[in-house]
Amino acid sequence: MAGSILQKCRLSHMSAAVGGAQALLLGEGPGRFLIELLRRDPSVCVTCVEQSPAMILQAKRQVRRYGLDSSRIEFCQTDALKWNPAGQVYDIIVTHFFLDCFRPEELHALVAKVGTSARADARWLVGDFCIPECGWRRKRARAIHAAMYAFFRAVTGLSAKQVTPPDDALNAVGFRLVSRRHFNFGLLHSDLWVKQNS
């Protein structure tokens, strides 16, 4: 499930990411979305904010493997909560399986900071785990989430104990939900948010 369905979720709104001059990828990991974006959009420039040096190394290897132009990528090895946009503005923001790593107050602070670096009409792609509203799908998702968060808290020191939906934080910085698609019986969702002109 992790291999194919997570990637399907990442790429669900890929068409909305193509055509942006500047893209920001937060918590990109080993480059699964990055590679597809570079392959499909030969003009995009990408900033990747990733805390793990091992993940950055894997992403760089993938870029070389596919013969893609590494000069179009800036890797920033840092904690996203400490990262500073430094006046940069972005057409595309991508957070796949990343926002669910933060406690509510951290999530709101991060989205508020990143939101200030978004151009008017910027697109924000979100892929994450979620909890269905009712029924056996909800019980199944809650059991899977409990196991995931227990594992990652033990292995990585993850601060979050459960998923916090980012909707309120995104709305607060002027983004509106345009499309939401669910996968794996509601366990995952892929969102396209667009910043509204003020």
Q: How confident is the model at residue 101, as a pLDDT?
A: 87
Q: Would you state the pLDDT for residue 140?
A: 81
User: How far is 78 from 125, CA to CA, in rounded Å?
Assistant: 21
Return the minimum-mean-pLDDT range out of 61-70, 103-112, 150-159: 150-159
Q: How far apart are CA 78 and CA 48, in angstroms?
A: 10
Query: How do residues 187-198 score in pLDDT, each as one tens digit?
Result: 899 999 999 975
What pLDDT score does 168 carry?
96
The per-residue pLDDT for 46 is: 98
Q: Shortest CA distance to 47 belongs to which of 66, 28, 69?
A: 28
Pairing of strands 45-50, 188-195: unpaired
Range 89-114 average pLDDT: 95
Nearest Cα to 29, choosing from 44, 10, 14, 8?
A: 10
Q: Say what the pLDDT of residue 160 is.
A: 66
CA distance 134 to 44: 41
pLDDT band for position 3 (cuts 50, 70, 90): low
* Interval 107-121 mean pLDDT: 95
Average pLDDT over residues 46-50: 97
The fraction of the chain above a pLDDT of 90, given in percent, is 72
Query: Rounded mean pLDDT of the chain?
Result: 91
Please give the pLDDT value at position 52.
94
- 197 CB contacts (<8 Å, ≥6 apart)? 120, 121
Average pLDDT over residues 22-27: 97
Residues 6+ positions from 187 with CB-CB distance below 8 Å: 129, 130, 132, 137, 140, 141, 144
Kindly tell me if the per-residue pLDDT of 159 is higher than 80: no
Q: Give the highest mean pLDDT range of 79-93, 130-144, 145-159.
A: 79-93
CATH numbers and ranges of domains, the chain: 4-195 (3.40.50.150)
The pLDDT tens digits for 57-82 are 999 999 999 999 999 999 999 999 99
**pLDDT beyond 70 at 119:** yes
- Residues 6 or more apart whose CB falls under 8 angstroms from that of 49 comprise 24, 25, 26, 27, 28, 76, 78, 80, 83
Position 1 pLDDT exceeds 60: no
